[in-house]
Structure 1
């Protein structure tokens, strides 16, 4: 069932209904959620408030959101199961999400097999194909090192041992561009800034990274 490990049998027993009835109502609820999702998860019409909040936290201009992905565990498919086997060796589909400075989701895309890299998921998403081409170079998303650095997508400098002092991780005392937005099943993890200076991706611990500002020029 949604957001927990309940199974149809236990839910049906609790409400004294048959398995088929529990399944039918579950499907109805899911269909309603899908129908209304666009009301609550939608791309902002104006970026002014979002950029101001991100600027206040981290001092970076033009940030309109932060992007990351997570894996949703699934039952092993009977067909092409290897396509759904992710790098952590369990079967999943990928969920890509973008949230604003108030930790509100503004875009979600899911369905790609677990073996697909975050960068490819991004290129396959409506966000990349339909939204990003219409965003001017003054506005940007923040992403981790899994994503390609581009005019509208700022990623950390890759630490290849030759970074300048300016490019190395910088301490932002109060910068947390993306909150870890989780449910009990950790629906999606986002990365954070602060403290120890290691470029570590989305473990839920607070981290700091130095973002490539070349595209701001």
Structure 2
């Protein structure tokens, strides 16, 4: 009994010593930081800043500046807020109020529109840098998840593809075309452990945005996230679009072969692309630039005229959401979701703000004379026949009066 009591007393002493040590540590840490730690820095609690500017001045007196500030008007913003608000709303606690869904969306849209750093946004919106870094990717994810089904869905109905082909024929004078395909490098600061993986031929670090665009500059398919070392053709070869286009079961329900206007040979509906992509039954690309005949030069101009639609779409996207013009100082996963959000917002605004979200539709063709031929010349007879059929159409039944000048 005496031995048991002594052991119990010893344990009590040890526990008491532990409690004293813990209390001393807490006291020292508290005294050390008591003059420089805040739950919220006092100047961040002030109501002035861009949030107040947007909610009061722009909204009441200058709606046009509201549109320029966020890339959308107030009614479109409210519609978007109704879609994403329930997902990004946080519950208030007895300790403090949470940041509202409206404020989160305002800060995120400004971030996408300008590409400002989180620290710069902190001084503008009176929201701490660390808080902005937490909710911006979440808001971007919410935007993409809630809008993609309505505004960024790959067509799977034959009638939709036929409408796209009709638009290409009406606007860009090329029939049997269901899209323009190309890739864009999204530049960011890659982590040191993976710099060689994301290093591209331009001497920067990037991930690739592969996009299929229709005649009205709408993204119909996007693939984001492949490292910049991979060529556009390599990204396409590993994409779900490639597997769907060349699947014998035709999961996308692409229309059946059809002859060009005024001609007899039935050919597939194709996607126009540049020299980085492989020529095939579904991909139409220019002839090699060496030793071309006059007919081949006209073919190249007409194909490049239709293919520039995807280049224009990238230009509109980057100029509206200027985060894509800057080097993004985030990890690849966050860069990916930011790019997805920008693409779906582009489609959303093109449909909801047709009058103000306009592209520059210049008819001046930028001809890529500096491109070198890529890949081999061992195309199948069927593939050559398809390209030759388009060449004959462009030089005969489908001739346009200005093509010889170009």
Deviating beyond 4 angstroms after TM superposition, the runs of 4 or more aligned structure 1 residues are 192-198
Task: Tell me, yes or no, if the aligned pair for 1:169 and 1:197 is still in contact at 8 Å.
Answer: no
Alignment of 1:95-134 (within 5 A): 95-133=209-247, 134=250
Aligned to 1:165: 294
For the structure 1 residues 196 and 82, does the alpha-carbon distance in structure 2 shift closer, same or farther, using more than 3 Å as the test? closer
Aligned to 2:136: 26
Shift of 1:41: 1.1
Aligned to 1:208: none
Task: Tell me, yes or no, if the aligned pair for 1:141 and 1:153 is still in contact at 8 Å.
Answer: yes
How far apart, CA to CA, are the structure 1 residues paired with 2:130 and 2:365?
51
Shift of 1:141: 0.6
Alignment of 1:148-163 (within 5 A): 148-161=278-291, 163=292
Task: Tell me, yes or no, if the aligned pair for 1:71 and 1:93 is still in contact at 8 Å.
Answer: yes
List alignment gaps of at least 5 residues for structure 2: 1-110, 258-267, 326-342, 344-361, 372-382, 390-406
User: What SS does the aligned partner of 2:208 have?
Assistant: strand
Higher-strand-fraction structure? 1
For the structure 1 residues 28 and 107, does the alpha-carbon distance in structure 2 shift closer, same or farther, using more than 3 Å as the test? same
Shift of 1:74: 0.8
C-alpha offsets along residues 88-111 of structure 1, whole Å, 9 cap, x if unaligned? 101111111111011111001011
Task: Tell me, yes or no, if the aligned pair for 2:275 and 2:285 is still in contact at 8 Å.
Answer: yes
Alignment of 1:1-217 (within 5 A): 1-36=111-146, 37-44=148-155, 45=157, 46-133=160-247, 134=250, 135=254, 136=256, 138-161=268-291, 163-170=292-299, 175-177=305-307, 178=309, 180-181=312-313, 182=315, 183-184=318-319, 185=322, 195=365, 198-199=368-369, 214-215=385-386
Task: Tell me, yes or no, if the aligned pair for 1:70 and 1:96 is still in contact at 8 Å.
Answer: yes
How far apart, CA to CA, are the structure 1 residues paired with 2:165 and 2:385?
18
How far apart, CA to CA, are the structure 2 residues paired with 1:123 and 1:66?
16
How far apart, CA to CA, are the structure 1 residues paired with 2:286 and 2:172?
14
User: What SS does the aligned partner of 2:116 have?
Assistant: coil
Shift of 1:55: 1.4
For the structure 1 residues 32 and 17, does the alpha-carbon distance in structure 2 shift closer, same or farther, using more than 3 Å as the test? same
User: What SS does the aligned partner of 2:222 have?
Assistant: strand
C-alpha offsets along residues 36-77 of structure 1, whole Å, 9 cap, x if unaligned? 224311122321221112112343321011011110011132
Task: Tell me, yes or no, if the aligned pair for 1:176 and 1:193 is still in contact at 8 Å.
Answer: no
Q: Taking structure 1 as the reference length, what is the TM-score of the superposition?
A: 0.80
List alignment gaps of at least 5 residues for structure 1: 202-211
Aligned to 2:41: none
Task: Tell me, yes or no, if the aligned pair for 1:68 and 1:144 is still in contact at 8 Å.
Answer: yes
Shift of 1:156: 0.6
User: What SS does the aligned partner of 1:141 have?
Assistant: strand
How far apart, CA to CA, are the structure 2 residues paired with 1:69 and 1:167?
25
Structure 1 vs Structure 2 CA RMSD: 2.7
Shift of 1:120: 0.3
User: What SS does the aligned partner of 2:278 have?
Assistant: coil
Shift of 1:139: 1.3
For the structure 1 residues 38 and 78, does the alpha-carbon distance in structure 2 shift closer, same or farther, using more than 3 Å as the test? farther
How far apart, CA to CA, are the structure 1 residues paired with 2:288 and 2:137?
45
